[in-house]
Structure 1
Amino acid sequence: MILSDAEWQAVLLSLQVSGTAVLFSLPLGIWVAWLLARCQFPGKALLDSLIHLPLVLPPVVVGYLLLIGLGKRGLIGEWLYQWFGFTFAFSWRGAALASAVIAFPLMVRAIRLALEAVDTRLEQAARTLGAGRWRTFVTITLPLTLPGIIVGTVLAFARSLGEFGATITFVANIPNETRTLPLAMYTLIETPGAENAAARLCVIAIVLALTALLVSEWLSRWGRKRLRG
């Protein structure tokens, strides 16, 4: 399959955006999942609802909220730009942020379910033997949660690859900067005579998503097998 330079750029940019989104959201995802799985505090139900809100909101709404919050004239974005010369809007970093926000609930849910399946008696035994909270988490909880972390990471990566609505609303459709795979397909569909190029990108999107899901399943089985061993 021969792709043009613009099509290759869209594919590589999608991989860059999705990888960045997952890399930076994973530590926060683990912490939030642990917080929801192991802690009781006022407002827990509200926090849980806010985290899962991007799953039910139209992605365009999420993109609009990011724009008014982190755009150059946004509530936080204006301050970031004035003091640090940094902006998320209309850049690939904003695309990564939008993808991370949309995919974050999937990551948190998978990790939380894995944490809830861990036998807390193992953690209590480690604590009675003198292990601190952090050491118990690193040596007991985290390894036992590994299959869920893997699944959540790969699912978030796959969801990030397909993100469209929040991305185009927040960072627009800029060639070589924010035009990821879904946005490139949208552009080609709107372009007369570009049906073949759109079909090629469609096949690539299917292959990437299917590969991510297969890798997620394989890694999950590997993690469970390793824990049983």
Structure 2
Amino acid sequence: MAAVGALFVLLPLAAMVARVNWAQFIPLLTSEASITALGLSLRTAAASTVLCVLFGVPLALVLARGHFPGQRLLRSFVLLPLVLPPVVGGIALLYTFGRRGLLGQSLEVAGVQIAFSTTAVVLAQTFVALPFLVVSLEGALRSAGSRYEAVAATLGARPTTVLRRVTLPLVLPGLASGAVLSFARSLGEFGATLTFAGSLQGVTRTLPLEIYLQRETDADAAVALSLLLVTVAVIVVGLTYRSPAPAGSRSAGSKHASARDASRRVRVTP
């Protein structure tokens, strides 16, 4: 059954690779439309990843360390984009930041138009990618525990000092994994982007939208661009996934070394 499950994933990818027109592969990837779409995707995905870090780190901290009424409800809403159809997210963003949206009307009066712009692409990607960073970082925070933070507090460290010198260094691998996953999810976003930002070449037409359009006119180009996205996804998974270490592989000396390293972090200068 494991082999059947693996084949279920691998066979479609193999079929796509077999369909690639290798003689025209490089010209298809380097066409003007492909380069423009790829460049736009990389820029917007990088911008949305920055927003995910700015918003996701405080959210993960609140969910992992906070205790307040409605915390489970807040977590449910924050993680909602993971199960929500992206087109529904695009509609929600449109009725929030669109010309007649909840905030869009006030922004329109101020001369700011978000919908169907590059900014809309970034917001759509952030909306769908933010939960990936929150989930990764919240899990890392819960695994790390709060004992070192408590030690730093007893030594007189301020909350900002604890966050900067203890908490973030301890969960840096989880933060990096969440950021990479957010970047990959942003790079592959389609439904919310199409609904909220449209498909304007050089402005909102990202690589997934270009693949969708090429599928109707040039199947070889669509397959080549799809293979490019698959390659990026494989690299991202390889960078973020690490096999768990065998139980008992860490020696007592390494544990003491980690404790000494943490104690050095929490020292407070008078």
Equivalence for 2:163:
137
> What is the CA–CA distance in structure 2 between the aligned matches of 1:13 and 1:207, rounded to whole Å?
18
Pairing 1:4-153 to 2, within 5 Å after superposition: 4-83=31-110, 85-153=111-179
Query: Equivalent residue for 1:186?
Result: 212
Whether the aligned pair in 1 keeps the contact of 2:52 and 2:129 (CA below 8 Å) is: no
List gaps (5 residues or longer) in structure 1. none
Contact 1:158-1:213 within 8 A present in 2 as well: no
Give TM-score scaled by structure 2 length.
0.78
Tell me the amino acid that sits aligned with residue 73 of structure 1.
R
Partner of 1:196: 220
Residue 200 of structure 1 aligns with an amino acid whose one-letter code is: A
Measured against aligned partners, the alpha-carbon deviations of 1:164-190 in whole angstroms (never above 9, x if no partner) come to 011100011111111101100000112
Structure 2 spans left out of the alignment, 5+ residues:
1-25, 246-253, 262-270
After TM superposition, the score normalised by the length of structure 1 is 0.91
Amino acid at match of 1:90: F
CA distance in 1, matches of 2:112, 2:99: 9
Amino acid at match of 1:128: T
Pairwise CA distance, 1:127: 1.0
- Equivalent of 1:209 in 229, 233, 236: 233
Distance in 2 separating the partners of 1:5 and 1:123:
52
Count of paired positions: 221
1:89-146 Cα distance to aligned partner (Å, 9 max, x none): 1111111110110011111000000111123111111111111111011111110010
Aligned-CA RMSD value = 1.9
Identity of aligned residues (%): 40
Amino acid in the other structure paired with 1:185: I
Residue 190 of structure 1 aligns to a residue whose secondary structure is helix
Deviation at 1:213, TM superposition (A): 2.3
How far is the alpha carbon of 1:60 from its aligned partner?
0.6
What amino acid does structure 1 have at the position aligned with 2:109? Answer: Q
